[in-house]
C-alpha cells in the first residue's frame, strides 16, 4: 500500500488508536470555559516545588501517569515516549519523564509539539516499530514569561496582541490495537517565515504556517473544509484565527464556524484578561485531550482536523531582531465508527 498520498501527507495503513487522553492544568485554565473538562486542576502553580520549571515537570509526570492509568497500561508497556516543551533544552519534559524508564525521543516543535509527537508516534506504530507510545506536550505560564519575555515580578504590561501561555500538560497513549479515536492521516508542515518580528504577536507569525498547511492538506487529500466536523488550530488566538479565515477566503476556502482555535476555546476573553487568547505547547495538548477527545470517543465529532501550530523563536533570536519562523502539523482524527466505514 502506498502510504504517501501527496507532497506532505501520509495515510496510515492501519489507523492508530488514541487509547487514552489526560490533561492537567493550572487554576486559571480551570476557571476558564473548559474548566469542567480537565482531569485535574492544580491550585498551586508551583506544584509544591522550588521553581516554575520544576513545577512544569510535575505537570508532565502527573499527566503521563494519568494517561497510562486511563489506558490501563503501565510505563513498562510503552515502547517509546515522545514529548517536548518550550523551556530551554526541554527540561520540562526530560525532568518530568526521567523516572519513567521508557525509551525516549525528545522533540522540539514549540507549540506544535503535540502535533509532532502524534505524527511521529503514529508513524512509528504503523511502521511496525511499536505497540504503545506515550505522547505529550507541556507549558507553564510563569516559566514561559520569564524565559521569553519578562520576569513576572517586574509587572511589565502585556500588549493586547499577546497571548497567555497555558499552564499544564496534555498526554495520550497511542496504540496499535484497541478502541478509541483513530489517527488516519498526517500532514507535516514546513517552516514558513513571513518576516514578522513582534514576539508579542505570535498569532500573526503562525497564521501563515497554518494556512500553508491547510492548503497543502486540502490539495494532498482532495478534501475541503466541509469534509471535517471541526478544524482546530493550536494556539493562534484571536488575531491568528482571524488571519487564517481571511487568508483562506482569498484562496477560495470558506472557513466557517466549524473552524476554531484552542487558544480561543481555553480562556474567556471577556473575563480572564488573557488578551489575544491562549498559547503554549499545552494549549493544543490539553484542549485536545480534555475537550475534543471525549467528543471523538462518543462519536459527537466524526472527523477532526487537528493542527497544532508553533512559533520557532527564542529570546536570543528576538533580541537579535530576527524574524519568527513558524510551523504547523496536521492530524486527521476520526471517531472509531467513522474510521471503520
Give me the residues that bind a second copy (CB under 8 A), please.
Answer: 1, 3-4, 8, 10, 13, 50-51, 53-54, 79-80, 84, 86-91, 94-95, 97-98, 101-110, 116, 119-120, 123-124, 126-130, 188-191, 193, 312-317, 320, 322, 325, 327
Shortest distance, CB of residue 121 to a second copy, whole angstroms? 11
Nearer to a second copy, 5 or 297 (CB): 5
Shortest distance, CB of residue 269 to a second copy, whole angstroms? 27
Shortest distance, CB of residue 45 to a second copy, whole angstroms? 17
Backbone angles phi, psi at 104, to 5 degrees: -125, 130
Nearer to a second copy, 120 or 264 (CB): 120
Please provide the DSSP assignment of 156-220 as one string: PPPPTT--EEPPEEEEEEEESSSSS-EEEEEEPPPPB------TT-HHHHHHHHHHHHHHHHHHH
Measured CA to CA, the distance from residue 117 to residue 234 in angstroms comes to 14
Shortest distance, CB of residue 229 to a second copy, whole angstroms? 26
CB 275 within 8 A of CB 162: yes
Cell readout for 162 is 499577546
Shortest distance, CB of residue 37 to a second copy, whole angstroms? 29
Nearer to a second copy, 127 or 159 (CB): 127
Measured CA to CA, the distance from residue 125 to residue 92 in angstroms comes to 25
- Give the CA distances from residue 67 to residues 3, 42, 61, 63, in Å, rounded to whole numbers and listed in that order: 29, 17, 10, 6
Shortest distance, CB of residue 161 to a second copy, whole angstroms? 20
CB 289 within 8 A of CB 22: yes
Nearer to a second copy, 124 or 296 (CB): 124
Nearer to a second copy, 21 or 55 (CB): 55
Instruction: Name, in order, each residue with C-beta under 8 angstroms of 312's C-beta and a sequence gap of 6 or more.
Output: 110, 191, 324, 325, 326, 327
Nearer to a second copy, 110 or 290 (CB): 110
Shortest distance, CB of residue 2 to a second copy, whole angstroms? 8
CB 183 within 8 A of CB 306: no
Nearer to a second copy, 13 or 44 (CB): 13
Do the strands 168-175 and 326-328 form a parallel or antiparallel pair, or are they unpaired? unpaired
Amino acid at each position: 500500500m502506498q502510504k504517501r498520498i501527496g507532497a506532505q501527507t501520509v495515510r496510515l495503513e492501519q489507523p492508530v488508536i488514541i487509547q487514552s487522553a489526560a490533561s492537567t492544568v493550572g487554576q486559571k485554565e480551570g476557571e476558564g470555559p473548559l474548566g469542567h473538562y480537565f482531569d485535574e486542576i492544580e491550585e498551586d502553580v508551583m506544584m509544591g516545588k522550588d521553581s516554575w520549571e520544576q513545577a512544569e515537570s510535575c505537570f508532565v509526570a502527573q499527566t503521563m501517569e494519568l494517561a497510562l492509568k486511563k489506558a490501563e497500561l503501565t510505563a513498562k508497556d510503552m515502547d517509546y515516549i515522545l514529548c517536548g516543551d518550550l523551556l530551554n533544552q526541554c527540561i520540562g519534559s526530560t525532568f518530568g519523564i526521567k523516572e519513567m524508564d521508557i525509551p525516549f525521543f525528545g522533540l522540539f516543535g514549540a507549540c506544535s509539539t503535540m502535533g509532532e509527537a502524534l505524527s511521529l508516534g503514529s508513524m512509528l506504530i504503523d511502521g511496525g516499530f511499536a505497540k504503545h507510545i506515550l505522547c505529550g506536550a507541556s507549558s507553564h505560564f510563569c516559566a514561559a514569561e520569564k524565559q521569553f519575555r519578562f520576569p513576572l515580578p517586574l509587572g511589565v504590561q502585556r500588549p493586547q496582541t499577546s497571548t497567555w501561555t497555558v499552564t499544564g500538560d496534555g498526554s495520550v497513549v497511542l496504540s496499535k490495537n484497541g478502541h478509541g479515536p483513530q489517527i488516519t492521516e498526517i500532514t507535516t508542515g514546513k517552516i514558513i517565515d513571513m518576516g514578522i518580528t513582534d514576539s508579542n504577536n505570535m498569532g500573526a507569525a503562525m497564521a501563515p504556517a497554518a494556512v500553508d498547511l491547510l492548503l497543502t492538506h486540502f490539495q494532498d487529500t482532495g478534501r475541503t473544509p466541509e469534509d471535517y466536523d471541526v478544524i482546530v488550530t493550536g494556539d493562534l488566538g484571536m488575531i491568528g484565527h482571524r488571519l487564517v479565515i481571511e487568508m483562506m477566503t482569498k484562496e477560495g476556502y470558506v472557513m466557517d464556524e466549524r473552524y476554531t482555535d484552542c487558544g480561543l476555546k481555553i480562556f474567556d476573553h471577556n473575563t480572564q484578561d488573557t488578551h489575544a487568547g491562549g498559547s503554549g505547547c499545552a494549549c493544543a495538548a490539553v484542549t485536545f485531550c480534555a475537550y475534543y477527545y471525549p467528543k471523538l470517543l462518543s462519536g459527537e465529532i466524526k472527523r477532526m482536523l487537528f493542527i497544532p501550530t508553533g512559533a520557532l523563536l527564542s529570546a536570543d533570536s528576538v533580541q537579535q531582531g530576527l524574524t519568527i519562523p513558524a510551523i504547523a502539523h496536521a492530524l486527521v482524527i476520526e471517531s472509531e465508527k467513522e474510521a471503520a466505514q
